[in-house]
């Protein structure tokens, strides 16, 4: 492939340095921003590549109209505005630049902390109002204060370094960070309740998931130090905004600072905006000249490499392998990623070691790529920013996870088998999977149990004592709560011993339903897994 004659459409503002990289490589670069829907649909028809930031919505309709499109590049990490499944179905590569905003976003979080500690926005407003209220704006020192970081990914990790640099001590909660890695960072790992009790300032840096939505609410605030400061520069929804309003009014929380909100743009009558002890910015954590330059140059170079070398750096929907190998490899990539995702949801504690075993025919393929697929599945549910086939090994290394590959010609009863062992905390879990008819993924082992599970959708894994009535009880609870059972399987360790009941559904399982099932004396544990 070459760049001559290829059109790259840039539909959002992009630093000129990125455009220059593309033009120097020989592409025809068309920069047209703020297009209407109709104009964009017309302009995309003959585009070979599309570069966006957050404004352009790359919908299924837009993708369908793109007759020549081969790659979509996002200058930044978030891909909320790109319909990646629709692009994948069309064979269009989707790329992003997940590391370009790390320093800038961490610095913004620290700026928010400093602004709250010294009440800088309020003092500025007072002076601009013609006042000199020196006594009113007494601040607090950050030196020797305890910063609690929830989520120690790239941004949380860099913030910890910045905070330590000004004399703060850092405690952190991240169930997926290995203890050895935390020690090297000088961070004290604690559980969430202890973080709430100890921290003078709390900053969240997790992705928004069902588990983290409303993570900081009235119950959590009740456990915190009176006068705590709270920062959210990650994702709107992690902090319950209504609960925070009440806590700020009573000064239980002395101050809070947000760069992100449940709904954006924020409505002018939002109750948080009326509070003097609330500092806010309009989602500008990544908005610096340096960061925008980094992501612009980064995505431009990735586009050049893809068209001139066939290398898909930063791709989130395909690995960087030769195109002719993809048809055979793709089903195994799907299986490997599902096994990794399943493991993350089974294990507890910081992940220390991952061993991926390839047996049979699969051992003759590009197992390095398949190991990366396992890591992508393992890390995606727990990381604040996108994990892809390029950065998954680096993310694992940064988190202190040891990765090992093992190949064997003997797959036992199967033609091919991928087995993933994960050591986390003081426990070890293993899952294994294979392909039926060379394309249909199946999980065939979960720890000591032999199973045959289709890895998709919402799943309930119930570890129970093999006693009559357990299946009936579970079925009744789900039926009473109008939860449809799509698949069900029971695997025995030995008769009269332990059993594993696996239930698949097309809807999520509410916490109240789980509590009812857990209340049975024959139920040892209940886990919810989402492999959508």
From 429, 455, 481, give the residue that closes a domain: 455
Are residue 52 and residue 117 in the same domain, yes or no? no
Are residue 18 and residue 35 in the same domain, yes or no? yes
Q: Which residue in 295, 320, 288, 311 sits closest to 21, CA to CA?
A: 295
**CA 308 to CA 2: how far, in whole Å?**
5
| CATH number, domain containing residue 362 | 3.30.1330.90
Are residue 130 and residue 275 in the same domain, yes or no? yes
Are residue 197 and residue 269 in the same domain, yes or no? yes
- For 322, the 3-state DSSP assignment is coil
- pLDDT for 177: 84
**CA 430 to CA 346: how far, in whole Å?**
9
Are residue 238 and residue 299 in the same domain, yes or no? no
pLDDT, average across residues 62-79: 91
Q: Which residue in 392, 167, 149 sits closest to 158, CA to CA?
A: 149
Are residue 177 and residue 221 in the same domain, yes or no? yes
Give residue-wise pLDDT tens across range 275-297: 999 999 999 998 899 998 999 99
| CATH number, domain containing residue 178 | 3.40.50.720
Give residue-wise pLDDT tens across range 114-134: 999 999 999 999 999 999 999
Give residue-wise pLDDT tens across range 243-280: 999 999 999 999 999 999 999 899 999 999 999 999 99
Give residue-wise pLDDT tens across range 162-202: 999 999 999 999 988 888 889 999 999 999 999 999 999 99
- CA dihedral angle for residue 183, residue 185, residue 188, residue 193, rounded to 10 degrees: -130
Q: Tell me the average pLDDT of the chain.
A: 91
| CATH number, domain containing residue 471 | 3.30.70.260
Q: Across the strands, what pairs with 417?
A: 359
Are residue 196 and residue 168 in the same domain, yes or no? yes
Are residue 303 and residue 334 in the same domain, yes or no? no
Is 322 a domain residue? Answer: no
Residue identified by tokens 């130090």 is 225
Is 178 a domain residue? Answer: yes
Is 85 a domain residue? Answer: yes
Are residue 400 and residue 309 in the same domain, yes or no? no
**CA 430 to CA 417: how far, in whole Å?**
13
From 455, 486, 511, give the residue that closes a domain: 455
Are residue 92 and residue 122 in the same domain, yes or no? no
Q: Across the strands, what pairs with 255?
A: 229
Query: Which residues, including other chains, have CB under 8 Å from residue 403's CB and lie 6 or more apart?
Result: 353, 354, 356, 371, 375, 393, 396
Asked whether the predicted pLDDT for residue 43 surpasses 90, the reply is yes
Instruction: Confirm if 331 and 435 have CB atoms less than 8 A apart.
Output: yes
Are residue 67 and residue 32 in the same domain, yes or no? yes
Q: Which residue in 232, 241, 230, 285 sits closest to 263, CA to CA?
A: 241
Q: Which residue in 245, 203, 216, 527 sits closest to 384, CA to CA?
A: 203
Is 175 a domain residue? Answer: yes
- pLDDT for 380: 87
- CB count within 10 Å of CB 485 equals 14
**SS3 assignment for 152-167:** CCHHHHHHHHHHHHCC
Query: Which residues, including other chains, have CB under 8 Å from residue 256's CB and lie 6 or more apart?
Result: 116, 229, 230, 231, 232, 239, 244, 248, 272, 277, 278, 279
The residues annotated with a catalytic role in the active site are 235, 264, 283
Asked whether the predicted pLDDT for residue 323 surpasses 60, the reply is no
**CA 478 to CA 483: how far, in whole Å?**
5
Asked whether the predicted pLDDT for residue 326 surpasses 90, the reply is no
User: Going edge to edge, which strands form the sheet with 416-424?
Assistant: 402-408, 351-360, 416-424, 427-436, 440-446, 449-453
Query: Which residues, including other chains, have CB under 8 Å from residue 332's CB and lie 6 or more apart?
Result: 362, 365, 370, 373, 416, 418, 435
- pLDDT for 383: 80
- For 377, the 3-state DSSP assignment is helix
User: Going edge to edge, which strands form the sheet with 278-280?
Assistant: 188-189, 169-173, 146-150, 201-204, 228-232, 253-258, 278-280
Instruction: Confirm if 448 and 459 have CB atoms less than 8 A apart.
Output: no
The total of structural domains in the chain comes to: 4
Are residue 81 and residue 182 in the same domain, yes or no? no
Instruction: Confirm if 455 and 443 have CB atoms less than 8 A apart.
Output: yes
**CA 207 to CA 232: how far, in whole Å?**
11
Is 432 a domain residue? Answer: yes
Is 324 a domain residue? Answer: no
Is 306 a domain residue? Answer: yes
- pLDDT for 382: 82
Give residue-wise pLDDT tens across range 263-272: 989 999 999 9
At 22, the pLDDT band (50, 70, 90 cuts) reads very high
Q: What are phi and psi of 486, to 5 degrees?
A: -90, -40
- Overall size of the chain counted in residues: 532
Q: Which domain holds residue 180?
A: 102-280
Asked whether the predicted pLDDT for residue 532 surpasses 90, the reply is no
From 297, 317, 337, give the residue that closes a domain: 317
Q: What are phi and psi of 491, to 5 degrees?
A: -115, 135
Is 401 a domain residue? Answer: yes
Q: Indicate the range of 77-81, 252-256, 469-473 predicted with least confidence.
A: 77-81
């Amino acid at each position: 492939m070459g760049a001559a004659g290829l059109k790259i459409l840039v539909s959002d503002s992009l630093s000129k340095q990125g455009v220059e990289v593309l033009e120097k490589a020989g592409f025809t670069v068309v920069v047209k921003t703020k297009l209407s829907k109709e104009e964009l649909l017309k302009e995309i028809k003959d585009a070979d590549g599309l570069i966006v930031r957050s404004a352009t919505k790359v919908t299924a309709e837009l993708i369908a109209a793109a007759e020549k499109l081969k790659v979509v590049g996002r200058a930044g990490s978030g891909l909320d505005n790109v319909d990646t499944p629709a692009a994948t179905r069309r064979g269009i590569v989707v790329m992003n630049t997940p590391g370009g905003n790390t320093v800038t976003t961490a610095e913004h979080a620290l700026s928010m902390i400093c602004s709250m500690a010294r009440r800088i926005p309020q003092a500025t407003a007072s002076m601009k109002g013609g006042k000199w209220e020196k006594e009113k704006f007494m601040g607090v020192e950050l030196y020797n204060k305890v910063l609690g970081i929830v989520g120690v990914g790239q941004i949380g990790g860099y913030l910890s370094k910045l905070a330590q640099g000004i004399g703060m001590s850092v405690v952190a909660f991240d169930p997926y960070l290995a203890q050895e890695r935390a020690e090297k960072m000088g961070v004290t790992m604690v559980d969430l309740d202890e973080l709430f009790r100890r921290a003078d300032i709390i900053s969240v840096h997790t992705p928004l998931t069902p588990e983290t939505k409303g993570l900081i609410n009235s119950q959590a605030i009740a456990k915190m130090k009176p006068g705590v400061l709270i920062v959210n520069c990650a994702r709107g929804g992690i902090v319950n905004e209504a609960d925070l309003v009440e806590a700020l009014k009573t000064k239980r929380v002395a101050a809070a600072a947000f760069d992100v909100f449940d709904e954006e743009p924020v409505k002018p009558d939002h109750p948080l905006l009326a509070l003097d002890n609330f500092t806010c910015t309009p989602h500008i954590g990544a908005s610096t000249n340096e960061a925008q330059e980094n992501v612009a140059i980064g995505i431009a170079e990735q586009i050049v490499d893809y068209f001139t070398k066939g290398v898909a750096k930063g791709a989130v929907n395909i690995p960087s392998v030769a195109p002719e190998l993809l048809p055979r490899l793709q089903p195994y990539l799907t299986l490997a990623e599902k096994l990794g995702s399943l493991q993350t949801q089974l294990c507890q504690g910081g992940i220390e070691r991952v061993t991926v075993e390839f047996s049979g025919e699969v051992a003759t393929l590009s197992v390095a790529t398949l190991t990366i697929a396992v890591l992508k599945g393992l890390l995606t549910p727990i990381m604040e920013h996108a994990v892809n086939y390029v950065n998954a090994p680096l993310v694992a290394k940064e988190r202190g996870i040891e990765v090992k590959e093992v190949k064997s010609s003997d797959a036992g009863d199967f033609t091919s088998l991928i087995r993933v062992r994960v050591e986390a905390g003081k426990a070890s879990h293993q899952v294994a999977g294979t392909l039926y008819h060379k394309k249909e993924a199946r999980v065939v082992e979960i720890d000591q149990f032999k199973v045959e599970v289709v890895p998709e959708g919402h799943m309930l894994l119930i570890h129970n004592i093999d006693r009559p009535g357990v299946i009936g009880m579970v079925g009744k609870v789900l039926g009473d709560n109008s939860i449809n059972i799509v698949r069900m399987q029971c695997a025995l360790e030995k008769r009269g011993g332990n059993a594993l009941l696996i239930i698949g559904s097309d809807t999520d399982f509410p916490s109240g339903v789980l509590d009812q099932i857990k209340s049975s004396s024959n139920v040892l544990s209940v886990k919810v897994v989402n492999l959508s």
